[in-house]
Amino acid sequence: MKVLLLGVALGLLYAGQGEAQLLLVPFSGEWKTHYIAASNKDKITEDGPFHIYVRHIQFHPDNTVDVDFYIKSNGECVKKHVTGVKRKTGVYDVEYAGQNEVTLVQVTHESIIGYIHNVDEEGKETDLVGIIGKRDKLSDTDYQKFKKETSDKGIPEENIVNFTDNDDCPEE
């Protein structure tokens, strides 16, 4: 039954722009970064712009999404906020450390897998794949989906960073 319901929800997700965004609203809430992989690992190491600890995501009916997170700068947690604007179903434009196209690859009540194509201020392009979760531990299935997406984007496994091991930023 859950599979049927998920299938219907995903079908509706792609049915129309406004309706799709409304379907994402229930996925708003507290989230935690688990893993991020990047074609340029410097972007996700400490002091890198994408060494981020997601805390809250809010999907809005007006086709925007707000994300609150922390970055580490010189060992200190610095709170950040970005707003994404939906360009098409499941794809958002976000200004942060350059221009980003963020694609929602998988959205469930347990995890979100996203793909980010970043073009930084110098024009350098980086592909990133991240997975955030509701709990302290991901299911093996979700982690394997993340690893497959990482591999599909050509990002080597050694460029995966585990964020749960060093997350000491404040909870929201």
Length of the chain: 172
**pLDDT tens by residue, 79-109:** 999 999 999 988 999 999 999 999 999 999 9
Q: Which two tokens stand for residue 117?
A: 């194509």
**Domain map of the chain by residue range?**
25-162
Residue 75 confidence class, pLDDT cut points 50, 70, 90: confident
Give the pLDDT of residue 7.
Answer: 40
Residue 1, pLDDT above cutoff 60: no
Residue 5, pLDDT above cutoff 70: no
Residue 77, pLDDT above cutoff 70: yes
Cα 83 from chain centroid (whole Å): 13
| φ, ψ of residue 58 in degrees (nearest 5) | -130, 110
Cα 61 from chain centroid (whole Å): 19
The CATH homologous superfamily of the domain defined by 25-162: Calycin beta-barrel core domain (2.40.128.20)
**pLDDT tens by residue, 6-64:** 343 434 343 444 455 667 889 999 999 999 999 999 999 988 999 999 999 999 999 99
Give the pLDDT of residue 19.
Answer: 53
Give the pLDDT of residue 123.
Answer: 97
Task: Record the pTM.
Answer: 0.86
Strands across the sheet with 125-133, in order?
29-30, 52-60, 64-73, 76-88, 91-95, 99-107, 111-119, 125-133, 32-38, 160-162
